[in-house]
Amino acid sequence: MKSDYKDAGFTDFNYIPLAASGQYSIVPEFFIGADLGYALTTSGGEDGGGFYYMPKIGYQQQKWELFGGYRAVNNDVNFGAINLGFNFKF
C-alpha cells in the first residue's frame, strides 16, 4: 500500500530492472509479450529489490511498434504502473 511505503520513510522509489524480454506476433501487425526478471532498488532502504514483470500488447510495423503494458515490482510491498511505449526498430 502507498501508506506502507511512506511509513517506511521513502519519498521516492527508483529501481533498475534486469530482465529478459520476449514477444510473439499473433498476426503480423499485433503482438503480445512480457519482460521478466529482477529489479534492483536504488532508493535505499533494506530491500535490495524484487520480482519484476511487464506483460504487454502492441501494434507493430517494420520500423516501429506501439505498446501498452503493466510494469510492476513485487516484494514485501508491490509497486506498479500502467505504461504506454513506442519503440524504433533498427
pLDDT in tens, 64-79: 999 999 999 998 778 8
Percent of the chain at pLDDT exceeding 90: 64
Q: What angle do CA 2, 44, 82 make, to 5 degrees?
A: 40
Q: What is the pTM of this model?
A: 0.78
Which residues, 6+ apart, have CB-to-CB distance to 85 below 8 Å? 56, 58, 66, 67, 68, 69
Mean pLDDT of all residues in 31-43: 92
CB-facing half-sphere around the CA of 62: CA atoms within 13 A: 0
Mean pLDDT of all residues in 52-67: 96
Question: Residue 78 to residues 3, 39, 62: CA-CA distances in angstroms?
Answer: 12, 12, 36
